[in-house]
Structures are given as C-alpha cells and as structure tokens.
Amino acid sequence: MQHDVTSILDGYLTLDQTAAELGIHIVTLKRWKSRRYGPKPIRVGARLYYKRDDWREFFENADKAKRGGRVG
C-alpha cells in the first residue's frame, strides 16, 4: 500500500522560496518585510515562513483596491 507523504509545511514558503516565486530578489522581500508591505510572515524558532495563500489574498486585495473595490 502506497501512502501520500505530505509535509507539515505544505503551503508555507521560506523567504528564499517566496522571493523566487514572486520573481524578486531576497533583499527586496526583506525590504518589504521591514516596511510592513505584504502579509506578515510566521516565525518558527529562528526561521520565517510565508503562507502562499496569504500572498494570493494580499495581491487580490491590492488589485481590488487599485480598481476602487470593483470586481470585474
């Protein structure tokens, strides 16, 4: 019997992974974090993680705000 192996961190990204997915440099991501731009990361010990879905929601909300709250 084969079992699907899922990580407890599925849906979470390290800073490096987040920067790569966003297509930005890690320094840019750290600058955004220091300026409180974007979703708040989650600290686990000394490591920071972002939820992938938080970034999706952040960009969707930014797009809606840009269009004055209109959908479509």
Dihedral of alpha carbons 61, 66, 70, 72, sign: negative
| Spatial separation of the C-alpha atoms in residues 12 and 51, rounded to whole Å | 5
Provide the pLDDT for residue 66.
75
Q: Which residue has the tokens 């004055």?
A: 68
Q: Give the 3-state secondary structure percentages of the chain, helix then strand then coil, rounded to 5.
A: 45, 15, 40
Provide the pLDDT for residue 5.
61
Q: Domain residue spans in the chain?
A: 12-66
Neighbouring-strand partners of residue 48: 43
Q: pTM of this prediction?
A: 0.76
Cα 19 to its chain centre, rounded Å, is: 9
Average pLDDT, the chain: 88
